[in-house]
Structure 1
């Protein structure tokens, strides 16, 4: 038995887990943002609800463990940002601690009990507020010691011409400090910036997708360009990793039609040919962070 956590900037979700199929959530607690002692006390209060001493504690965090310094980079929870988080929590809690970021937890969940079941190589894709991902091979997370593997949304690789016929595109500035990242143009906000560039009007990503499904020509043009920009880099990820399934989470994954368009475009660009979908909707829609943390803590 372990205790697993999904740590967010608003709430800490905790659960008792004996397997990936047996995860019992506990009441959410507000996240102490600026007081590490209070943060530990909140975790301890959840752990104390376990019926016995857990074998370890596993966390999903919206951040990164730097593989060189071992320090946590978690901007939305300042009291753990910059800490040697694993060491500090193990000292404070007296238990072994395992940590993964939220995208890695998502792909662990999908590989374990979601759309990636039965696949050796699973690349999980996040298309939402940001563009991210994670990689699991033979049930094991590549980022077992932290790190940036799977962050395909960053790097100056976005096309400056895309769509049919090709549209000229700027190299949108990304929050990471680079220009031309996939995150900057293929996240939900990126789709909105793309639509404004092409048509001179601001709509939400939900409105753009809804208009596209109603066959609005402006929205159809935006989605055509969007899919063309996204498909090449994602196809390269498939070629490099050998992934045989790519479950997608995040807000944009709610449109099955968009995922189908992305899937067709990616499969047309990869070396290995699949007669079935490669890019699919994630199956773990409820608490993937807790599920992934549980799998991590139980030996994933």
Structure 2
């Protein structure tokens, strides 16, 4: 049995996993973001509630482990930020601890029980409050030691001329400190920023998508430019990794027409010609962080698998 956690700045979700398709959540707890002893206490409470000694503890976190220092980079949980988190947790819990980024865990979940089943190379993309991703090859994360692999949303590569007919675009500032990142224009807030730039009106991403589906000309223009901007770097990721499926999670994946449009655009730009959907909505919509952590823990518990 593996104890899994999905840890964010607001809540800690816990579960016992007896198999990757047998994950049993317990009640979520509030995240003690400023008190590391209290943070440890919550983890211990969950382990005690499950009531069985686990093989290991596997965590999905909204952050990364720096592969050069082993220190956690978790901006929204100050008490864990900058720590040798794996070592600290193992010392406190007396159990092996595995840690992966939340986007990586979503990719693992899709590989294990979602749209990535049967595929050797799975690139899980996130389109939501941010643009992220994770790469799984033969059931293993490329980011097995932590790090930034899969972060296709960052880097100054977003097009400054896009759409049909093309329109000139500024290099929007990104929260990572760079200008011109895909994240700055491909996230939900980025879509809203793009619509404001193109149409001069304030709409939420959900409203833009709804208007697009009802034939609104301004919304259609925004989505045309948006898809053009996203599809090029995502096609490059597919070409470089050899991914044969790209499950998409995050809030924007709830729009099936958006995912279908992105699929058509990406397939038109990749070298391998797919006669089936390539970019698809993630299937593991319920607790993908916990399921991904379960897959991570299962690989540790059965390394020969």
Q: Output the TM-score relative to the length of structure 1.
A: 0.99
Partners of 2:26 and 2:161 lie apart in 1 by 49
Corresponding residue for residue 37 of structure 2:
37
> Aligned-residue CA RMSD in angstroms?
0.7
Partners of 1:208 and 1:171 lie apart in 2 by 21
Q: Where do residues 69-108 of structure 1 align in structure 2 (5 Å cutoff)?
A: 69-108=69-108
Q: Where do residues 1-300 of structure 1 align in structure 2 (5 Å cutoff)?
A: 1-299=1-299
Q: Secondary structure at the match of 1:211?
A: helix
1:50 CA displacement: 2.8
Q: Secondary structure at the match of 2:299?
A: coil
Partners of 1:19 and 1:128 lie apart in 2 by 28
User: Residue by residue, what CA displacement relative to the aligned partner does 1:219-262 show, whole Å, maximum 9, x if unpaired?
Assistant: 01000000000100000000000000000000110110011110
Partners of 2:30 and 2:129 lie apart in 1 by 22
Q: Secondary structure at the match of 2:38?
A: helix
1:32 CA displacement: 0.7
Q: Secondary structure at the match of 1:298?
A: helix
1:30 CA displacement: 1.1
Which residues of structure 1 form unaligned runs of 5+? Answer: none
1:298 CA displacement: 1.2
User: Residue by residue, what CA displacement relative to the aligned partner does 1:55-80 show, whole Å, maximum 9, x if unpaired?
Assistant: 11000000010110110011111110
Partners of 2:196 and 2:264 lie apart in 1 by 25
Q: Output the TM-score relative to the length of structure 2.
A: 0.97
Partners of 1:202 and 1:29 lie apart in 2 by 35
1:23 CA displacement: 0.8
1:9 CA displacement: 1.0
1:52 CA displacement: 2.4
Which residues of structure 2 form unaligned runs of 5+? Answer: 301-305
Partners of 1:129 and 1:45 lie apart in 2 by 30
- State the aligned residue count: 300
Q: Secondary structure at the match of 1:92?
A: helix
1:53 CA displacement: 1.2
User: Residue by residue, what CA displacement relative to the aligned partner does 1:131-173 show, whole Å, maximum 9, x if unpaired?
Assistant: 0000000011110110000000000000010000000000000
User: Residue by residue, what CA displacement relative to the aligned partner does 1:159-212 show, whole Å, maximum 9, x if unpaired?
Assistant: 010000000000000000000000001110001110111111111111110000
Partners of 2:179 and 2:12 lie apart in 1 by 34
Q: Secondary structure at the match of 1:4?
A: strand
Partners of 1:108 and 1:27 lie apart in 2 by 23
Q: Which aligned runs of 4 or more in structure 1 are off by greater than 4 angstroms?
A: none
